Amino acid sequence: MAVAAKAQEVGLDVEDPLILDDVSSHAWDEEADLVIAGLGGAGVAAAVEALERGVSVIAVDRYEGGGSTAANGGIFYAGGGTVIQKEAGEDDSPEEMYKYLKMEAGEVVADSTLRKFVDESVSTVDWLLHHGGKLNSAVWKKKASYPPLDRFLYHPDNSLVARYRKVAKPAARGHRAHIANGKKAWGVGIGIYNPLRDSALRLGLKFRPLTEARQLAIDASGRVVGLKVLSIPPGSKDAAAFTKYIRRANHFLAMLPPSIPFAAITIGIGNHYLKKAMRIEAHGRETRWIRAREGVLLSTGGFIMNPKMVQRYAPAYAAGMPNGTLGDQGSGIVMGMTAGGSTALMGKVSAWRFINPPKAWSDAIVVNAKGERFVDETVYGATMGEHIVDHHGGTGWLIYDAAARKQAFRQAFDPVLVPFQRDVTLLNLLFNYKKAPTLAALADRIGVDRDALAATVARYNRAAAGQEPDPFEKEPEDMQPIATGPFYAMDISIASRFLPLPVITFGGLRVEENTGQVLDGEGRPIPGLYAAGRTAVGIASQTYVSGLSYADCVFSGRRAARHIAKANI
């Protein structure tokens, strides 16, 4: 079966490539050295880098551009002694950053690629600032899932966790972008994305929004030479209506799992607007062909917003809360596959289970379906989520006592908390708990073994009292005995009704790590075809820390542009 036919099974209308015997005689509508499909974080970085190097660029995007990059929390992972770190008094070096990231990235990329990423980190931040990126050196030094709104440099990772500190010296490497008023917690990815987009346009980018990439063109030698697109005419009534409907659909559908209360109603509203937008696409688009003299870059994001594709490749995560925007359909990945591109880690999904704030929760314990601990509870949310879903069947319970519950309520009203952190804490304290007068009764209520839970709590209490070391190396200042009844269990499983588990895909097209070229099944680069960001396997594809995907988008997008610029000389 052709790849395009298989694509329809997961809701995609990608077509198999058009093979051209005579490229010059084809009816091209326009052409450029580099043609980019998807103008999100990776696409815009590639565009700016290429244009700076004298490469002409046309970019298309099915929507308005920006994708999940523009919609995210605005964290950019960088270190080694960036100008922002130095302003904040943070002592960091490339070697310490490398040692830390090696623990997180594992073998997902070559050591040389990871070192290059680290070695370029300082200059990358300089490049972002040069193009107007809005960064700030106000630092937050404590463990946190997200910093207070008046802090912009923090630890978005495990670097402060004891086990990691033994290997690498910690430093605040989460560079949070900001917007004019500095008061918005989400969607501040535009603090970096918008300035890059504006620079690209000033440098000569030809941007075609509301334009969907549907088919690659390949010459007789197997080289990718262009792209077929379907475009809503700019400035038309259809364009205005489509944009309005997509914005509304994104508002109702993004980051919403079916398991939470009232989700069916919200999803129904979102799908209502999405269907309206799709009807416009069905009748109001023009077919155009864009020639790519040097290469096509696929940077359309991952596939977390495509339920059928998630169910096929990563079914264990289907109940999670999609962390993306409507562009994350997997179209770029499948389009690369139509040209013979190979994939890896398609079942690899990052799941984010943050339980701090409030600190009272991370001072308690997390157990699996057997009533056993499996992690230091102070680890970063993506590490916690990975343990729960990848290694413990998607089930997790936070066990705490009456004293911790009182502390959690007090901590929920700490003025340094971002509003969404307070709201999530209160929602789960009020509605997401099982309560029992004894641990044995609590075990019965959540369906775990009585003796196992009793032994787990007893051992934890001894470690909290300093009577024995904690097997997960959790530090005493982050531990409180679980001793004061009644006792509570909070559902932190993947399908928790009141604490959804955000998920994002990290698998994609395999690429040659020095160039960004897509690799075929034999590991050979496909001429003229590149992939970047979450369309490709990259630095962040093993274990996520906040901002690492954003940084990898910029790194991989610029990498592809540099290789194309060399070919263009």
Which residue in 70, 12, 34, 563 sits closest to 331, CA to CA?
12
Q: Which helix (H) or strand (E) holds 134?
A: none
Residue-by-residue pLDDT tens, the chain, 569 positions:
478 777 888 989 999 999 999 999 999 999 999 999 999 999 999 999 999 999 999 999 999 999 999 988 899 999 999 999 999 999 999 999 999 999 999 999 999 999 999 999 999 999 999 999 999 999 999 988 888 888 999 999 999 999 999 999 999 999 999 876 555 555 689 999 999 999 999 999 999 999 999 999 999 999 999 999 999 999 999 999 999 999 999 888 765 555 555 566 788 898 899 999 999 999 989 999 999 999 999 999 999 999 999 999 999 999 898 889 999 999 999 999 999 999 999 999 999 999 999 999 999 999 999 999 999 999 999 999 999 999 999 999 999 999 999 999 999 999 988 888 999 999 999 999 999 999 999 999 999 999 999 999 999 999 999 999 999 999 999 999 999 999 999 999 999 989 989 999 999 999 999 999 999 999 999 999 999 999 999 999 998 899 999 999 999 999 999 999 986 54
Q: Rounded to an integer, what is the distance from CA 52 to the centroid of its chain? A: 27
Spatial distance between the Cα atoms of 71 and 193, rounded to a whole number of angstroms: 10
Q: What is the DSSP string of 459-484?
A: HHHHHHTTSS--TT---GGG-----S
Residue appearing with tokens 């009232």: 262
* Distance of alpha carbon 106 from alpha carbon 98, whole angstroms: 11
| Cα gap 80→92, rounded to integer Å | 5
User: Looking at beta carbons, which pairs linking 106-110 to residues 24 or more positions away fall under 8 Å?
Assistant: 106/542, 106/543, 107/542, 108/345, 108/537, 108/538, 108/539, 108/541, 108/542, 109/513, 109/537, 109/538, 109/539, 109/541, 110/513
**Residue 201: alpha-carbon gap to chain centroid:** 26
Asked whether the beta carbons of 217 and 20 are under 8 A apart, the reply is yes
Give 378's contacts (C-beta < 8 A, 6+ positions apart).
143, 160, 161, 356, 362, 474, 475, 478
Beta strands at 57-60 and 30-37: parallel, antiparallel or unpaired: parallel
User: With the C-alpha atoms ordered 200, 206, 207, 212, is the resulting torsion angle positive or negative?
Assistant: negative
Q: What is the largest CA-CA distance in the chain?
A: 80
pLDDT of residue 186: 56
Domain segments of the chain as ranges: 3-68+186-229+289-348+504-568, 75-176, 233-284, 353-491
Strands 30-37 and 286-298: parallel
CA 121 – CA 72 distance, rounded (Å): 20
Architecture label for domain 353-491: Alpha-Beta Complex (3.90)
Beta strand 153-155 with 343-344 is unpaired
Do 3-68+186-229+289-348+504-568 and 353-491 show the same overall fold? no
CATH (one of 1.10.357.10, 1.20.1250.20, 3.40.710.10, 3.50.50.60) for 3-68+186-229+289-348+504-568: 3.50.50.60
154 backbone dihedrals φ, ψ, rounded to 5°: -155, -175
Beta-strand pair 211-219/153-155: unpaired
Enumerate the H helices of 32-161 as residue ranges: 41-52, 67-71, 83-88, 94-105, 111-119, 121-130
